[in-house]
Amino acid sequence: MSENMNNPTVLSQLAALHRMSIDELKERWSELYDEAPPDIGAKFLIKRLAYRIQEIYYGGLTKTDTDKITKINKDMESEDKRSGKDDQILPGTRFVREWNGNEYVAVAREDGFEYNGRLFSSLSAVANEITGTRWNGLVFFGLKKRAARRTPVRTMNGGMPPAVAASPCGSGE
């Protein structure tokens, strides 16, 4: 592209964006996008306008690039749908927790969690069996932090001691 007095350089156009009022930014948006601007703040408008100016001057993404991005996004979405919390715990993983001076061990199995020779459907069920109260199993075994509460909670045992370990065991220990 040739540069002349009516066609300022890309850098000067980008610099000018930061000196514009919100109304001027919206007017520039209408010029560059050929549509009404969204009702949003100046920071966002500046970023989008800066991108658009460079896109016009240097060229945008090729069709091949946009197709690749679309495919990557679809792959990531389907990956997110396939993976769940249950998929992340491998059979054979041992969960060790010290509670009230005793050590408790649960082992992940294909069909649940084994504790004390019995099979439980969830870590929460194991935690309930150990403590006699309702617990989130992931919190009890230290895999997830306890959600913050608005008011402090006092417990009989002085709080929740940290988990001793949670590690996969592949050697049949």
Task: Give the tens place of pLDDT for each residue, 98-129.
Answer: 989 999 999 999 999 999 999 999 999 999 99
pTM of the model: 0.40
User: For residue 1, what pLDDT band results from cuts at 50, 70 and 90?
Assistant: very low
On average, the pLDDT of the chain sits at: 81
In the chain, domain spans: 10-64, 87-168
What letter does residue 58 receive in the DSSP assignment?
H
Sign of the alpha-carbon dihedral angle for 18, 21, 27, 29: positive
Alpha carbon separation from 71 to 62, 63, 80 (Å, rounded): 14, 12, 14
Q: 47 in helix, strand or coil?
A: helix
Q: ∠ CA 98-104-108 to the nearest 5 degrees?
A: 125
Nearest-angstrom CA–CA distance, 10 and 79: 40
Give the pLDDT of residue 61.
Answer: 87
